Amino acid sequence: MWYCWGQKEPPRPMSLQATSSPRIGRDPQGRRLESWKEIATYLGRDVTTVRRWEKREGLPVHRLHHSRLGSVYAYTAELDAWRNERAAAVTIGAVDASRAPQTAKRSWTTITLIALGLALVVGLAWLWNQRSTAQPAISSSRIRSIAVLPLNNLSGNSEQDYLADGMTEALIGRLSTIQGLRVISRTSSMQFKGTRSSVPEIAKRLNVHAVVEGSVIRSGDHIRITAQLIQGDTDVHLWSGTFDRELRDVLVLQTDVAQGIARQIEIALEPQSGRPVAARSVAPAVYESYLKGRFELNKGSRAALEEALRHFQTAIDADATFAPAYAGLAGTYRELGSVFIGDSPVEVRPKVLAAANKALELDPELVEAHILLADALQKDWQWAKAEEEYKQAIAHNPSDASAHSGFSSWLLAQGRTHEALDWARRGRELDPLGYEDVGIGWILFQSRRYDDAIRDLQSVLAVEPENPSALWFLGFALIGAERFEEAIATLEKAASASDRSSAVLGVLVHAYAGAGRRADALRVLDELHRRRKAGYVPAAAFLNAYLGLGDTEQAFTWLARAADERSPIVQWLKVHPFFDSLRGDPRFAAFLRRANFQ
């Protein structure tokens, strides 16, 4: 289901007449604009686009050569004149031709004749020199991969960043549902927030044919969204659109922009089911609370997650039928139950299941909810149901990196390591800069390809040296390779980066024991036991510790407790190398049956 505020007729891109000068805080003729940001705001574009126009299309921008470097200014009268001249020479899909002045029609006739003549000359030249090695640029109809860069917040108020980020994420999600179009995930796209990299540089790093950039500006009850589709290798603009609406109509702009892009690249923008996208009314305050919740959820800290819960609950209290807010709630509870936050699965997983199921009850095609439900079912050992949810998520959104990496974890748990690696690599193609993606390294570790796992995880850490997940998983791989001293150093760093997470300390005990430093191992183990007296400590931390110490009886005791609390470690019983010492014991087979493994 596609959510929008009450819209009686399909929205249309603004006409050229409507966008020839801004309607938000319109400036008088002749006003002097004193910076790139002021010029960009006046034109309703972002700074990168305006700089490109000045360089390539003669945008009238003046420089103060006697002043500090980079000082620029422009006059609104000159900008308006330049814009009007440019409008006569550039086709804009949103222009209402019937309203264009007769002089513009005559100009088009002249331009058409000139264009035909030039085409004839170029064609003859090509026939004369067929040995030319120049390759044609990718046409818009051949675009099959795209990245949406973070929309710029031009409001001048950083408190509105959640709106720009939320609109970016929604546009990525909308485009990702298109069959045959590879859309880079949010995690990678957000790496370019505030970047000065050129479009060709970004396109090369993300391996995409085209890039979407744009901006959001909010003024009172009005909002303006601009977007441009740019060819990745040539930096040529293929399409642009400007949409100006009342704030209550902001959600429908997501569909406007997505439809404009889809038309340009000649791909039908239809839901996977083939049924028309249903629209429903959502109050502005509800969606604003939802966007604020997403903004906090993406930060990932405990304080931010608790704030996200508050925003999502506010949205639900105001509108109990708004499915995305339930999905946000489920995602927040899942993060609270992660190893680095550390809430008990017994407490949070039922909340994940309840919120995800409610979201799907309200909207059966909500991809995020399918993924969250699949993850929770997998950790509850409901393997067939989890598989079905992952497959539905991928069917609804073929470009969702989380769905691909989630399904790879399901395959890994089944012992299908080669297939798991293939799916994880597909997920990485969709999220090439997702530094939190340590899935491939984890699969390689569980496949006992320790050296390959070490290389992959070190490549992640080369970009983000303090990534606790990558450090933790690298510790596992180094233990597997029996490089215990390196494992100790890595896990000590992981402990520092994660506020001495109990999960990390359990593996650190394992590393100390493997290195023969039993006194150090027992010292860290004692820290875990003392911590347990004051609050919850995951059973998996003790399980990893006693496996490293070679204490089989204690290992089985803590494996039973891990199973009781539905610890995530139990899903890896079939493949985890740390369990190899237990596999010959009949008690281990009983745990496999308990976790519904065949």
**pLDDT tens, the chain, 598 aa long:** 444 433 333 333 333 333 333 333 444 446 778 788 778 877 877 777 777 778 777 888 887 654 444 467 787 777 877 776 665 554 343 344 334 444 444 454 554 555 555 554 445 444 434 332 333 344 555 788 899 999 888 877 777 888 888 888 888 887 887 778 889 888 888 888 877 788 999 999 999 999 998 888 877 767 777 888 888 888 888 888 887 776 666 667 677 777 778 777 766 444 444 333 444 567 888 888 999 999 999 898 999 999 999 999 999 999 999 999 999 999 999 999 998 898 999 999 999 999 999 999 999 999 999 999 999 999 999 999 999 999 999 999 888 899 999 999 999 999 999 999 999 999 988 888 764 579 999 999 999 999 999 999 999 999 889 999 999 999 999 999 999 999 999 999 999 999 999 999 999 999 999 999 999 999 999 999 999 999 999 999 999 999 999 999 999 999 999 999 999 999 999 999 999 999 999 999 999 999 999 7
The whole-angstrom distance between residue 388's C-alpha and the CA centroid of its chain comes to 23
Phi/psi region, residue 265 (left: phi>0; alpha: psi -120 to 50; beta: rest), is: alpha
- What one-character-per-residue DSSP string does 280-331 give? E---HHHHHHHHHHHHHHTT-SHHHHHHHHHHHHHHHHH-TT-HHHHHHHHH
User: Any bridge partners for residue 217, and if so which?
Assistant: 224
| DSSP conformational letter for 141 | G
Alpha helices, DSSP H only, in 67-198? Answer: 76-87, 102-128, 161-176, 186-189
pTM, 2 dp:
0.72
Cβ neighbours for 591, distance < 8 A, ≥ 6 positions apart:
559, 560, 563, 570, 573
Sketch the domain layout of the chain as residue ranges: 13-101+137-276, 282-398, 402-598
Residue/partner pairs of 448-455 with CB below 8 Å, 24 or more apart = 448/480, 448/577, 450/477, 450/478, 450/480, 450/481, 451/481, 453/477, 453/480, 454/478, 454/481
Reported CATH class of domain 282-398:
mainly alpha
Buried b vs exposed e over 574-597: b needs ≥16 C-beta within 10 Å? Answer: bbbbbbeebeeeeebeebeeebeb
Q: Rounded to an integer, what distance in angstroms lies between the CA atom of residue 154 and that of residue 217? A: 5
What are the angstrom distances between the C-alpha of 249 and each of 2, 4, 26, 235, 253? 13, 7, 21, 31, 7
- What one-character-per-residue DSSP string does 3-43 give? E-S--SS---PPPHHHHSS-SSSPPPTTPEE-SHHHHHHHH
Q: Is-same-fold flag (13-101+137-276; 402-598)?
A: no
In 10 A of CB 234, how many CB atoms? 13
Reported CATH class of domain 402-598:
mainly alpha
Cβ neighbours for 117, distance < 8 A, ≥ 6 positions apart:
none
Reported CATH class of domain 13-101+137-276:
alpha beta
3-state secondary structure of 44: coil
Beta pairing class for 62-63 and 145-148: unpaired
User: Any bridge partners for residue 147, and if so which?
Assistant: 211
